[in-house]
A and B are shown apart, each in its own frame.
Chain A
Amino acid sequence: MAQGRQQKNLILILAREFASKLATPMFVVDAEGDLVFYNEPAEDVLGRSFAEAGEMPAEALPSLFSPEDLAGKPLSLEELPLGIAIVARKPAHRDLRIAGLDGRKRVVSVTAFPLFAHADELVGAVAVFWQPPGGETP
């Protein structure tokens, strides 16, 4: 396909529009795990708007959000629900702690699942996450 005709996969376009209408924080990543969108409710959790942060490569996500389990052990990309959804191509859920882009630590519950355009064609994944009451830590 010519460079000028590059377009996001339709499933990602629809996922972005779905996310943009939700009151629940949501991430959308492409098939490489690169973050291509997060919605306004997610901005409250992450501490920065998507317009400011923009798209992010997958390998940058752990360093940006410093994810760790509830005991404080750092989590690799492959241990995150989104990483599992992309690498293992299966849904995943866990509670974890992240540092928002504003520097504040928050406990979040994350559920991620892969997006298949066809049975054999992974085009990305979405993660829904929320902050339990009292989840923000200094």
Chain B
Amino acid sequence: MRARIWGCRGSIATPGPGTLRYGGNTSCVELRTRERTLIVLDAGTGIRLLGATLEAEPPATIHLLLTHLHLDHLEGLPFFAPLWSEGTELHVWGPPSPVRSLENRIARYISPPLFPRRLADVPARLSFHDVPKEEWMIGGVQILAHPVTHPGPTVGYRLTEDGRSLAYIPDHEPALGLNDLAAMPPEWLSGHAVATDVDILLHDAQYSAEEYPARVGWGHSTVDHAVTFGLSAGARHLVLFHHDPLHRDSDLEALLVSAAQRWGDGGTPPALAREGLTFELD
């Protein structure tokens, strides 16, 4: 399994000179399985760039796994080139809602007045799936989707192939309501089922500790929370994801120093997610 980050910015795309090193596109991660199946995690603005690379040799089938439907995880979908090809079979997976189907919720965005075309106009063959409660398989990869703490229906994903695993929890506030995240038994931590003992954990690290008190309940973590959660889960490599749009590259690098100190000497030190960063899980 190989992963590549196409977007790791939180909340809103943030182009400009201050975000050149880590990128300004919102959440999107490409996964290629051993069988060469294409799995895409989230459809933030980064998915547009991924789609452009697929035009020369478009895959017949694509699986898009959405963590949730907040706009920064969905806004790139109508700009994903394979969507506009009749030859594409696109399976869209996402968290169920007690109110509306996944298709209807996505159609609210891909329709006037928010978008000039309707979802029904899309030439690709689309299938919409609520994520199963139990693990399932796509292209030889075992996938677990588990609800996590974030406003509205939201899941984190764990993908495992040949015993190597990657967890993707870009929007997550496991510290919500807790006095001490580190003191909680792991089974009482949101996201634990997804992240335990993973090789790579891509996790929300939107805020600094100083910023968080004014944003409690917004659904995101501090860098310290991400480190504490990663250590509690036994993740082997923590990648700080969903960078705040107010954080310039230099701000992120200062936060990384703090994260590395908190992580300690055990294993691979944390890293900052950046566009173009790849992981080989063989």
- Complex CA distance for A21 and B192, rounded to whole angstroms: 22
Cβ < 8 Å to A, chain B residues 78-119? 96, 98
By a CB distance below 8 angstroms, the chain A residues around B177 are 14, 17-18, 20-21
By a CB distance below 8 angstroms, the chain A residues around B189 are 7, 13
Main secondary structure of the interface of B (DSSP, over half): loop
By a CB distance below 8 angstroms, the chain A residues around B31 are none
Cβ < 8 Å to B, chain A residues 1-28? 1-2, 4-10, 13-14, 16-18, 20-21
Asked if A1 and B176 make an inter-chain contact with CB atoms under 8 angstroms apart, the answer reads no
Asked if A13 and B149 make an inter-chain contact with CB atoms under 8 angstroms apart, the answer reads yes
- Complex CA distance for A56 and B116, rounded to whole angstroms: 57
- Complex CA distance for A7 and B189, rounded to whole angstroms: 7
Asked if B187 and A8 make an inter-chain contact with CB atoms under 8 angstroms apart, the answer reads yes
By a CB distance below 8 angstroms, the chain A residues around B178 are 17
Cβ < 8 Å to A, chain B residues 148-167? 148-149
- Complex CA distance for A28 and B109, rounded to whole angstroms: 38
Asked if B176 and A17 make an inter-chain contact with CB atoms under 8 angstroms apart, the answer reads yes
Q: Is B72 an interface residue (CB 8 A)?
A: no
Asked if A118 and B193 make an inter-chain contact with CB atoms under 8 angstroms apart, the answer reads no
A118-B187 CB under 8 A given contacts A1-B144, A14-B149: no
Number of chain B interface residues as a range: 20 to 34
Choose one: B98, B176, B192; the contact of A118 (CB below 8 Å).
B98
A118-B149 CB under 8 A given contacts A4-B197, A7-B193: no
By a CB distance below 8 angstroms, the chain B residues around A119 are 98
- Complex CA distance for A1 and B178, rounded to whole angstroms: 26
By a CB distance below 8 angstroms, the chain B residues around A13 are 149, 188-190
Interface 0/1 of A71-112, CB less than 8 Å to B: 000000000000000000000000000000000000000000
Q: How many residues of A contact B (CB 8 A)?
A: 20
Interface 0/1 of B124-151, CB less than 8 Å to A: 0000000001110000000010111100
CB distance from A112 to the nearest CB of B (A): 21
Asked if B146 and A7 make an inter-chain contact with CB atoms under 8 angstroms apart, the answer reads yes
Asked if A6 and B187 make an inter-chain contact with CB atoms under 8 angstroms apart, the answer reads yes
Asked if A7 and B147 make an inter-chain contact with CB atoms under 8 angstroms apart, the answer reads no
Asked if B147 and A8 make an inter-chain contact with CB atoms under 8 angstroms apart, the answer reads no
Smallest Cβ-Cβ distance to B147: which chain A residue: A10
CB distance from A53 to the nearest CB of B (A): 15
Choose one: A1, A5, A16, A18; the contact of B188 (CB below 8 Å).
A16
A117-B147 CB under 8 A given contacts A6-B193, A17-B176, A18-B177: yes
Asked if A10 and B187 make an inter-chain contact with CB atoms under 8 angstroms apart, the answer reads no
Choose one: B146, B149, B196; the contact of A4 (CB below 8 Å).
B196
Asked if A10 and B196 make an inter-chain contact with CB atoms under 8 angstroms apart, the answer reads no
Asked if A5 and B196 make an inter-chain contact with CB atoms under 8 angstroms apart, the answer reads yes
Asked if A1 and B135 make an inter-chain contact with CB atoms under 8 angstroms apart, the answer reads yes
Asked if B149 and A7 make an inter-chain contact with CB atoms under 8 angstroms apart, the answer reads no
- Complex CA distance for A63 and B191, rounded to whole angstroms: 35
A10-B98 CB under 8 A given contacts A4-B196, A5-B196, A17-B178: no
CB distance from A44 to the nearest CB of B (A): 20
| 9 new A-B contacts at CB < 8 Å, known A1-B135, A18-B177, A121-B133 | A4-B196, A5-B144, A5-B196, A7-B187, A7-B191, A8-B188, A10-B148, A14-B149, A16-B188
Give A residues with C-beta under 8 Å from B: 1-2, 4-10, 13-14, 16-18, 20-21, 117-119, 121
Report 29 cross-chain contacts, Cβ distance below 8 Å, ordered by A residue: A1-B134, A1-B144, A1-B193, A4-B197, A5-B192, A5-B194, A5-B197, A7-B146, A7-B187, A7-B188, A7-B189, A7-B190, A7-B191, A7-B193, A8-B187, A8-B188, A10-B146, A10-B190, A13-B149, A13-B189, A14-B177, A17-B176, A17-B177, A18-B177, A20-B177, A21-B177, A118-B96, A118-B98, A121-B133
Q: Top 5 nearest A-B pairs by Cβ distance?
A: A17-B177, A7-B193, A10-B147, A7-B192, A5-B196
